[in-house]
Chain A
């Protein structure tokens, strides 16, 4: 009891096994992992589980996943499967059709329509609520529940859409990275071509320099050098 209260009231100290993570221990377990991976012909040694570890290395191996898929941290329950709770679990009326019945061909126009409808319903219900409050306040309770359900439904639909938006952001990030890489490649190629042209010019000049007067041409070399270095370094 006393211990529980302490945990709830103060930030708990770090678990004692943090002391086991010394550089020597870390490199030792890495060597052991590699050895075991070679023994069992596995490519990736990072996920391998080692049995019969020496005592001081035991904490360097992460524990197994909880068998029932749930665990508790700081008094809150977490589960391996991070699922959006169903509306029905919270005793909220669901105000939109099943995912199977809407969004034909996997597109999301229906979702937008439903959201817009919900937004309009919110306004209408609020108007009704103000009217009820003016005429018969005791009936307002039910209307407030309606409004609450509408809001929760709205948020539920938004949260359902989050994975979709995450993928969408990933696509746009990849696209911009692709554009960046291509632009960089082109810039490098341009600089290289320019340098090669300078090189060609230089070689033709060298031929001329030997047959003609050397001194004035030499200035040109230096200028060409400088240009070339500018291009290459800049």
Chain B
């Protein structure tokens, strides 16, 4: 899980992979056609089918797979668009950012000084409390 830009980049790469996978599937599992009246489709035994360049899937399975692949492509594209629209700081310009950073830097300095001051005050109170407690315990 990276930042938004990396997520977007990964999504685009996945889309490319899906393109290739879709073409690959269609290329390997389409049905066979005869080109002339004398052609014959050779029926290949099941166990050898894996080694063949084209391994026709039944018509309905092929259709369903095509639909699924197409839907996946659309989903991925929509995911990409969503990622684009939530990119951080689309409405900030570089000048805005720099001003923002400078302001934050100043505020941080102030806050840090306040923190140090508070720590000092705490130490003082601690010392005060310590002396009070010691003086009470003695009598």
- Verify that A and B bind, or say they do not: yes
Residues in chain A within 8 A of chain B (CB atoms): 105-109, 111-112, 115-116, 119-120, 122-123, 126, 129-130, 133, 147, 151, 154-155, 158, 161-162, 164-165, 167-172, 174-175, 177-178, 181-182, 184-185, 188-189, 191-192, 195-196, 198-199, 202-203, 206, 221, 225, 228, 232
Cβ of A121 to closest chain B Cβ, rounded Å = 10
Residue B23 at the A interface, CB < 8 A?
A: yes
The one of A119, A162, A168 in contact with B89, judged by C-beta atoms closer than 8 angstroms, is A168
B108-A181 in contact (CB<8A)? yes
User: What residues make up the interface of B, taking CB atoms closer than 8 Å to A?
Assistant: 3-5, 8-9, 12, 15-16, 19, 22-23, 26, 73-74, 77, 80-81, 84-85, 87-98, 100-101, 104-105, 107-108, 111-112, 114-115, 118-119, 121-122, 125-126, 128-129, 132-133, 136
27 example contacts (A-B, Cβ-Cβ < 8 A) are as follows: A106-B93, A111-B90, A112-B84, A112-B85, A112-B87, A126-B19, A130-B26, A133-B23, A151-B12, A155-B12, A158-B5, A158-B8, A162-B5, A165-B3, A165-B4, A165-B5, A165-B87, A167-B89, A178-B107, A181-B108, A181-B115, A182-B111, A188-B121, A189-B121, A192-B122, A206-B136, A228-B133
Cross-chain contact of A195 among B88, B94, B125 (Cβ < 8 A): B125
Q: Which 7 A-B pairs have CB atoms at the shortest separation, nearest pair first?
A: A106-B93, A168-B89, A188-B118, A174-B104, A181-B111, A168-B88, A167-B97
Shortest distance in angstroms between B111's beta carbon and chain A's nearest beta carbon?
A: 4
Check if B108 sits within 8 Å of A178, measured CB to CB: yes
- Report chain A residues within 8 Å CB of B15: 119, 122
Residues of B within 8 A of A185 (CB): 111, 114-115, 118
Q: Which residue of B lies closest to A161 (CB)?
A: B5
Cβ contacts under 8 Å, A203 to chain B: 132
B residues near A111, Cβ cutoff 8 Å: 90
Given contacts A106-B95, A168-B97, A175-B104, 15 further A-B contacts (CB under 8 A): A107-B92, A108-B92, A123-B74, A161-B87, A164-B94, A165-B87, A174-B104, A174-B105, A181-B111, A181-B115, A185-B111, A188-B122, A199-B132, A203-B132, A232-B126
